[in-house]
Amino acid sequence: MIRLTRLTETSLIVHWFTESQGLIKTVAKGARRPKSHFAGQLDLFFGGEITLTRSRHSDLHTLREVAIRQWRGGLRRNYTTTLLAAYFCQLLEMAVEPEHPLPELHDLLKRALDHLETAEPSLRILEHFEKELARLLGVFLDSSHVEVLLRDLLGTLPANRVELIERLSPRDAFLSSGAKNCE
């Protein structure tokens, strides 16, 4: 699950990135009710199996069942980890067409979230994800310009990238570690 949006007082719009169907949007009717059968099943970065009823008139389908297989609780251990995981999801959502399966991009996101669940967030992880995404989208030329290539392709990058770069900057980590002046 890559995004949750409130639809009504009791319902949510849930965006999923699936291996077989790509980016899917579903409505979880009644999900915000206290006794909903979706209680505890819908949160960012969860992975599992879904059952839905396809809409004949729009790209918003009805979510019927969810079976969570991966909770990924480690992605909530600190704000920077959550921010980086959200960045991966936002960037991928910008790069794909709805309901167009791209198994290699699904695999990239799954591997990134699984890795980040136990690893500390870093600039290296962010840059690796961007490089792999650019390569899979067919625009990778050299690693020093991946940000520019993705921005040119997508028109923009998620706004939280600036904050992530500041938080993950090696210079800041070096200074905060109590480094002394050296010759």
Contact 80, 168 (CB under 8 A): yes
Domain boundaries along the sequence of the chain: 3-71, 74-176
What CATH code is assigned to 3-71? 2.40.50.140
Instruction: Write down the pLDDT at residue 171.
Output: 52
The model's pTM:
0.89
The residue that leads in pLDDT, 23 or 141, is 23
Beta carbons within 8 Å of 115's beta carbon, 6+ residues apart: 125
SS3 of 162, please?
Answer: helix
Residue that has been written with the tokens 């067919």 in this structure: 138
CB atoms within 10 A of CB 132: 18
- Sheet with 60-70: list strands edge to edge: 3-6, 12-18, 22-28, 60-70, 47-53
Q: What is the pLDDT of residues 92-123, one digit of tens each?
A: 999 999 999 999 999 999 999 999 999 999 99
